[in-house]
Amino acid sequence: MAQRAPDGALRRDGAADREGQRRGAAHPRPQHEERHPEAGLGLGGPSVAEPFVIAERRGDAVWLTLNRPERLNAVHLEMRDQLWTHLELLRDDPTVRVAVLRGAGDRAFSAGADITEFGTAPSFVEARDARVRRDLWGVMSTLEIPLIAAVHGFAYGAGLEMSLYCDLRVAAEDALFAIPEVTLGYIPSAGGTQTVPRHVPLGQALRMATTGDAVPAQRAYELGFVQRVVTRERLDDAAAEWADMLASRDPRATRATKRAVVRGLDLPLADGIALERRLAASVAAAA
């Protein structure tokens, strides 16, 4: 979750770089007024002038942009809470068929947790209670619509973990993936030791977790946890192509297919096939 530059040095923050930032209005709930990400949060969310996650509606898709480019989109409490709120809105909105997650600026998808908060965050009990109330990883892993990660630059620690909670990953050629917690003397706490082995062979997962070494985009593609690699200039277009294609499908079939695949992974084969049959029957009955 630390931020590491391409030369391997760990850094607490990145150079200011707000170029490429895209700003848009938060997507509205159907027939309801627009809701801002800080509404209802218990940790003192930022003002409307400080959106750490920008949500933009594009037809049947919602694009979510992590918006702390001067900190390499490092995840702090406010960003985490805002992302959770937006994902909850997506869960409740039947008109949204797909979502895209990306990072603002030119240097990072997300460099992981903001280590400048270490020692200043709420107590362990308060942090645990906040995670229970706003389970970001739980929302991402159970979201019924497809979630696409458009990754460029650093995807370290929590940044890598966020991308792995998405269903599809398209990466720019400059993307770097790492779980570098061991280099700071601790281990991942947002699922890195569990999500990475579910996407790459065990030996590769252990290498990433025990060395903290970064994996370039092309190697990530070869290992299978990135599904497409494009030039940096093509990243948004490539994500949009996937989003448009998925949004054009019957949403009931798309959601049921995702449910069958994701839930089936935790079931014995016979139970997974039975689940698939039940879901297929429900989709056919609703057609």
Residues with active-site annotation: 161, 181
Residues 6+ apart with CB under 8 A from 45: 37, 38, 39, 78, 81, 82
Give the bridge partners for 56, in sequence order. Answer: 63
Distances (CA, A) of 142 to 16, 26, 28, 159, 287: 34, 22, 21, 18, 24
